[in-house]
Amino acid sequence: MKLGPEGYSPAVLGKIEYAGGNSRSFACAAESLGRLAECPISGRHVERLTEKPGRERAAQRDADAAAMEARKLRSACERPPAVAVVMPDAGKAQFRQEDRGPGVHGPHWGDTKVACLQTYTDVQYAADPQPDPPAAFLDPARVERLCREMERVRGAGAGAGAGDKPPDGRNASEQKTREPKRKGRKAGGKKRRRKRPERPERLVRTVVATTAKVEPFGWMVSAEAMRRKMYAAPKRAVIGDGGNWVDPPGQMHFAGWEHILDFLHLLVHLFAAARLAHGKDARAAWALYERMLRDAWGGRTAAVIATLQSQSERMAGGPSAGRDAAQVVALTLGYVQRNRERMDYPRYRTMGLPVSSSLVESLIKQINLRVKGTEQFWNDGDLEAVLQVRAAYLSEDGRAEAFHQRRPRSPAVGSNRARLPNR
């Protein structure tokens, strides 16, 4: 039966670990295992059998990062991918003070750092395949929802309240997306279909997740990229949110890659600046946002900077009540100026590279479903172990299942059943 040190076969242990790492809680995992797998087990036992493999996965990850730092790590892949993209970002989780006994003592928020390493098929275009912004970025209700969703996922604040109004002055529930004009109909009422340009196909995703600080996180991500032979890819890109913590590891570990400012984060900054620049004049705010968005999408970064500068100068001499709004506009101006070298979006699209880190935003949301909740307060080491399990099952290279097949065996009965054999 190939019983492991815990007394379970690899297949059963894999089911327990999967349930513990992907269910809403260990108690929910135990209930699911009892009802669906006919495996009666307690929530506490699920917790132990989830965190132990998670710590082993973390130890292997740290060993790879140390080998990468020592320049001894080698890739096991035969061929490099055609296109390799790394997307780092951060989420939030609640922690509690450790070694204080039962209950939640000293609750506080902390960061979780996540990287999505995605490969694509190679597609090259003669010209920009999408010169106009997506319709979703030009619809007031959808832009409002997008900004709120990004704030919730990142845990950076409450964002716009449910009763706030979008830039055109109507409630989101009252918004109606205008149906675009129908063009290109042949005689007889048949619609002429435009041939859409071929798009790069997503291939394999792997995930790095940790509660560690920025420097060790950088080595973890670079080790994963080396393991997958991404450094040898003909096309390589790093897509980040433009935050101060992302740039240093990006420049250190991914020098020579294309560094792209995530367009969704830029959109959120421009939307906030436009709304605050015109206060209650919703129509003027939307017009300002749309003008800056079109310039940014078209790679006219100088025009975006000039627009923000003019708005900042206009608001600088205003009443003291508008100082907070003026500060947001000034911060957005600084944000664009710092990242202007990462905003050549037409060239990135022509190369067949993505310009959005929506994949890692979605990834953080999936991780948050397990680790972020109103009644979830973690010890640091326990969360690190669960993050490794979650990352393994969110990766698409089969590492989650292969881990249990490679894991060392030991006697499954007697007083020594939890000890691993000496090797």
Burial class (CB in 10 A: 0-12, 13-18, 19+), 114: buried
pLDDT, average across residues 5-12: 78
Q: In this structure, are 249 and 285 located in the same domain?
A: no
Range of 60's domain?
A: 10-122+199-260+356-406
State whether 150 and 271 are in the same domain.
yes
Which of 363, 281, 275, 373 lies closest to 324, judged by CA? 275
Residue 23 has pLDDT above 70, yes or no: yes
The answer to whether residues 61 and 102 belong to one domain is: yes
Q: Rounded mean pLDDT of 381-400?
A: 94
223 and 249 co-located in one domain: yes
More confident residue, 385 or 185: 385
Residue 185 lies in a domain: no
378 sits in the region (left: phi over 0; alpha: psi -120 to 50; else beta) called: beta
Residue 254 belongs to some domain of the structure:
yes
Q: Which of 30-44, 292-306, 331-345, 372-386 has the lowest mean pLDDT?
A: 372-386
In the numeric block, which tokens belong to residue 36?
């669906």
d(CA 150, CA 157): 10
Q: Tell me, yes or no, whether 423 lies in a domain.
A: no
| pLDDT, position 80 | 96
CA distances from 217 to 89, 95, 214 (A): 11, 19, 5
Does 181 fall in a domain? no
**Domain count within the chain:** 2
Q: What is the pLDDT of residues 357-368, one digit of tens each?
A: 889 999 999 999
CA distance readout (Å), 223 to 59, 115, 131, 230, 350: 13, 12, 36, 10, 29
25 and 106 assigned to the same domain: yes
Q: In 350-416, at which residue ranges do the beta strands (DSSP E only) sit?
A: none
| Mean pLDDT on 273-290 | 93
Question: Which one of 330, 350, 370 terminates a domain?
Answer: 350
User: Does residue 301 sit in the same domain as residue 327?
Assistant: yes
Res. 168: pLDDT tops 60: no
Asked if pLDDT for residue 163 goes beyond 70, the answer is no
Amino acid in the structure at residue 180: P
Give the pairing type, strands 235-240 and 83-95.
parallel
The tokens of 111 are what? 């960061």
Instruction: Convert the pLDDT of each residue in 233-249 to its tens digit.
Output: 999 999 999 988 888 88
Tell me, yes or no, whether 115 and 104 share the same domain: yes
Q: Residue 113's beta-bridge partner residues?
A: 90, 210
pLDDT tens sequence across 332-357: 999 999 999 999 999 999 999 999 98
| Higher pLDDT among residues 373 and 213, named by residue | 213
**Spatial separation of the C-alpha atoms in residues 329 and 352, rounded to whole Å:** 32
Tell me phi and psi for residue 206, to 5 degrees: -125, 160
Query: Does the structure show a pLDDT above 60 at 110?
Result: yes
Q: Would you say residue 58 has pLDDT above 90? A: yes
Q: What is the CA radius of gyration of the chain?
A: 25
Pair 370, 397 in one domain: yes
The CA distance from 309 to 332, in Å, is 10
Structural domain includes residue 127: no
Q: What is the chain's mean pLDDT, rounded?
A: 85
Q: Is residue 174 part of a domain?
A: no
pTM for the structure as a whole: 0.83
Q: Are 210 and 106 found together in one domain?
A: yes
Instruction: Please enumerate in sequence order all residues whose Cβ is within 8 A of that of 5, keeping only pairs 6 or more positions apart, or say none.
Output: 409, 410, 411, 412, 417, 418, 419, 420
Same domain, 253 and 267: no
Query: Alpha-carbon distance 116 to 133, whole Å?
Result: 25
Sorted by sequence, the CB contacts under 8 Å of residue 42 that are 6+ apart come out as: 30
What CA–CA distance (Å, rounded) separates 143 from 127? 27
DSSP count for the chain of H helices, then E strands: 14, 5
Least confident of 22-31, 252-261, 320-329: 320-329
Say how far apart CA 195 and CA 198 lie, in whole Å.
9
Q: What DSSP character marks residue 179?
A: P
106 and 15 inside one domain? yes
DSSP state of 183: -
Q: What CA–CA distance (Å, rounded) separates 130 from 345?
A: 10
Residues 153, 213: one domain?
no
